[in-house]
Amino acid sequence: MNDEARMGPGAASGPRTARATSANGGQRTGFVEMVRKANAPQAPEHSLLFRSATLASVLTGVFACASTGELSVGSALAAGVAISIGMAFSAFTRSRPWQWVKILLAFAVIFVFVQFVMQVFGAAHTGELSSIEVPLAGLFTWVQVVHAYDVPARRDLLFSVAAAAALVTVAAAQAVSVGFLGFVAVWLVSSMIALGCSWRSMAGGQGRLPSIGLAGATVVILVVAVVLELVLPPPRASQEITLPNSLTSYLALPSGGGLTQGGGNPTEPARAGRPGGQIGIGGYVGMDGPLDTADRGSLGNEVVMRVRADRPGYFLGLTYSSWDGQSWTDPTGCPVTEEDTGSPFAVPTTPDGGGTPSLQSTADLGGDANVQTFYVLKPLPNLLFATSVPTQIYFPDHSLVFGCDNSIRSTVAMTPGTVYTVISQDTEATPSDLAGVPATVFESPYLRRTFAAELQLPSPDPYARVSALAHSIVSKAHPTSLVGEIQALETWIGAHTQYSTNIPPLLPGQDAVNQFLFGNRVGYCEQISTALAVMLRTLGVPAREATGYVPGPFEPLSDLYDIQAKDAHAWVQVYFPGQGWQSFDPTAYVPLAPANPGAVLMSDMGHLLAGLPWLPIGTAGGLVAAVFARRYVLRRRRALPPTWAGRLALRLERAGARAGLVRGPAETLAEYAGRLRGSAHGIRADELRQLVEVVSTAAYAGREPSPDERAAAEATVDSLRAQLRRHGPRTPGRRRVTPTTAT
């Protein structure tokens, strides 16, 4: 009886079970071994260039986040110093890392992650994805700080490069300026150098860093990025989604929908301007109630808000109808209507209780939808701005107030971080569109009664000279249309007045328009627009004063308009039957078409390049190019054999290598020439024999060949090269040929 039978029925299954167990154990062992191998300590990285490029990449990411406000400047500086010290420590201890440092770093990483999770949960109540960007930037930054103290090997450095890419990406999500391209360029160059060093390290440290290839790849990436920015269209908002709106703080105003005056109540953050001094952010005198043309002040370059709009235009805040010779004020008893419906708010077509009636509804006037999102950066008056005819508003509070002065007001403070969206039906018309309205349209008694508020002048009328001047200007132009009359007045104002904010104060009781037109004719937007409005009223044309903002610089990277404090503006609106209120402005150019991001980017880059000091840059670049060219020539000369025979043999070897025939280490020149002859056509054996003899004699016998012998040998090599190039098999790429002995 065999052994298997004696062991009973279960014996047959024993070996199979053992084999299965062994297989499963082998799988588990293989996985564990794979994990262990992946986490095994790697050889220390000794390349200082690799470490320096990685450090530059990481620091660029950190300061890029600081430039977009996702890290404070102090935090970025502290992190930069800590990362630099950590990288130096890692380089010093790369061959023998300190184990107790690793333990401390592990606890530090856990602490950083806990802080990140707490911040995310704390910001989650906003319900916006952007609420985690700042904690995410902090997470990557402080992980980099911790990781910098344990970067002994190539794998650790590559982790830092990847984390730096994440930092730049997080910063780019909030970048709104073309200047951010500087951070991208520095990060890209340093990262490409680090990756090149990593490739060299993986190759065992052999070979030189492919600087030309890295530079070429960097340039290609930058060119592709610029081309994409040029050809991709700007984003356009859809009305079918919930449009952006948010508050970072809820500060109710006690004024019941009135404009913030900033005087006695400390809860009103926006303060009105004061005569004789700098007008603060949000305190432009034309947006806090009365517009007093006697006030003098200046506006700064601070960005007060950013706007993304399908089309730019006049961002209207208030309109004024009552003029007393010095100030524009709201209509007496101008009522307000409060809507408590929440977003989206429907804007009333005609304010209840008075104001100028709308002779046509928005649908009658037509117009194209224009979606505008406003991002408030500085404390502003409780005004919402919009182009042309606003119809729908997305605002983060439950109520809004609509005034008969065409204003839209919030009942909470417009603090930094507030976001709201307005949809307008833009009715801005071109001069050709308005040419059909005759100059005599307002001779109708009905229209004069309807627009009595927009035709009002102080009593007794002090504008006899103004009326005579206006009629004289119009009569000389001979316009047949209403828009022709307005353009004639605008042309005269542009030719006979001077724009300046440095003007003398208005004396008590002095009429602002008479002083401007018949005094020094120097003023800024308030004086110029007021003069145009009064001149139109003396002609019987309804006109009103409007205040708000004009579009500031356009940022092609974010498709946002930077609205600066100095972009606060005053202009004139004139009513055109069938077209609604139209804006006219002899002092500022306002684009009515969306900016082309590519064209703006190229223009900005052109201005940047034009402003560079090209003479010293060209001189320095020329010197650097000359140094590298000299080094290249010297290197090529050193690589060539010193004798004529050696150089001719090298030419022969290179010709063969191009055809895929590489000379062997022990192969004589005669043997190699015979092998080449077999792959060439039209080369005689005696020519190759004479070539080998001349080269061998010159190399070993010390006899210099005659000029005729040299010429014949060189002609043979040239002919052989031509034949091999024409008929010989080529390899996929060139192979480097190392000079060998002549024979």
Domain limits of the chain?
3-38, 48-231, 277-602, 643-727
Residue 685 identity (one-letter amino acid) = A
The Cα-based distances of 549 to 284, 317, 532, 537, 570 in angstroms read: 10, 8, 19, 24, 8
Note the residue count of the chain.
743
Full-model pTM? 0.64
The most confident of 336-345, 456-465, 636-645, by mean pLDDT: 456-465
pLDDT of residue 542: 93
Residue range 652-677: mean pLDDT, rounded: 78
pLDDT of residue 669: 80
pLDDT band at 117 (very low <50, low <70, confident <90, very high): low
pLDDT band at 469 (very low <50, low <70, confident <90, very high): very high
pLDDT tens-digit series, residues 493-542: 988 888 877 777 777 788 889 988 998 888 888 889 999 999 999 999 99
Cα separation, 604 vs 595, whole angstroms: 13
Residue range 672-699: mean pLDDT, rounded: 76
Q: Which two tokens stand for residue 209?
A: 């860093």
Residue range 49-69: mean pLDDT, rounded: 89
pLDDT band at 188 (very low <50, low <70, confident <90, very high): confident
Least confident piece of the model among 252-256, 515-519, 626-630: 252-256
Cα separation, 359 vs 341, whole angstroms: 26
pLDDT of residue 30: 63
Q: Strand 291-292 to strand 327-329: parallel, antiparallel, or no bridges (unpaired)?
A: antiparallel
The secondary structure of 316-352, three-state, reads EEEEECEECCCEEECCCCCCEEEECCCCCEECCCCCC
Spatial CA neighbour of 94 closest among 33, 156, 2: 156
Residue range 348-367: mean pLDDT, rounded: 47
What DSSP string runs through 184-237?
HHHHHHHHHHHHHHHHHHHTTT-S---HHHHHHHHHHHHHHHHHHHHHSPPP--
> 277-602 domain in CATH 3.10.620.30?
yes
pLDDT tens-digit series, residues 376-434: 888 888 889 998 889 889 998 888 888 877 788 888 888 888 889 999 888 778 888 88
Residue range 365-378: mean pLDDT, rounded: 80
pLDDT of residue 237: 53
Q: Strand 400-403 to strand 336-339: parallel, antiparallel, or no bridges (unpaired)?
A: antiparallel
pLDDT of residue 28: 53
pLDDT band at 220 (very low <50, low <70, confident <90, very high): confident
pLDDT of residue 129: 44
| Higher-confidence position of 571 and 334 | 571
Residue range 324-351: mean pLDDT, rounded: 76
